[in-house]
Amino acid sequence: MPTTLHNTNALYAITDCANLRGAALYSPVQQALAGGCRFVQYRDKSDDKVRRYAEATQLLKLCRQFNAKLIINDDVALARSVKADGVHLGQSDSTIREARQALGAKAIIGATCHSDMELARYALQDGANYVAFGRFFPSATKPDAPPARLSLLTQVRRRWPDCCIVAIGGITQANAELAIQQGANYVAVCHDVCHHPNPTAYARAFARTSAA
């Protein structure tokens, strides 16, 4: 996920699988893709392997229709089985090297770094394609996540000018510009896009922010 890849739109949409199923899950994703979003993360923390496989497979089909990328949250095995474009790893998940070995050289691998630049250093050394920081604002998805200052994004950008940075945690259309101005290439949005009355228009609004 280098800064030159699909940078016509800064929206990195995350599915709200805790509240949406079936058509209610697929519809906002399809609409956001139609609006220009080119990165979707399938995030489901349940242990229903059959449903998760079916949902990830359908989301991948939608992404392929729009030449977009599907990233699987946490689950390297699921990413491999559905042939997704990559995986996003937390600090307690598989290592980046294990994920790379399982998914191959072309896979997009992202790493959660919270507010810790040392975690980012290790992730980048191990071959992460992007590093994610946050939460920067109150988050319904991760209410207990430790807060981070927006100025952290500027520090990361200065230290690693060419790395791909994703801001996550409480990002909405109203505050996304703040994160991008500080150095983020992409902003990860879950609830705000999945429950928006017009996800296509929502995604289009992020085209103007993607010059970073």
Give binding residues for Mg(2+) as ranges. 74, 93
Residue type, 210: S
Burial of 91 (0-12, 13-18, 19+ CB in 10 A): exposed
Backbone angles phi, psi at 78, to 5 degrees: -65, -40
Give binding residues as ranges. 41-45, 73-74, 93, 112, 139-142, 170
Q: Where are the beta strands (DSSP E) in 74-157?
A: 86-89, 108-112, 130-133
Tokens read off for 94:
């598989």
Q: Which of 74, 10, 70 is nearest to 40 (CA)?
A: 70
Q: Are 78 and 53 in contact, with CB atoms under 8 Å apart?
A: yes
Q: Which of 158, 212, 160, 156 is nearest to 185 (CA)?
A: 212
Q: Which of 44, 13, 7 is nearest to 202 (CA)?
A: 13
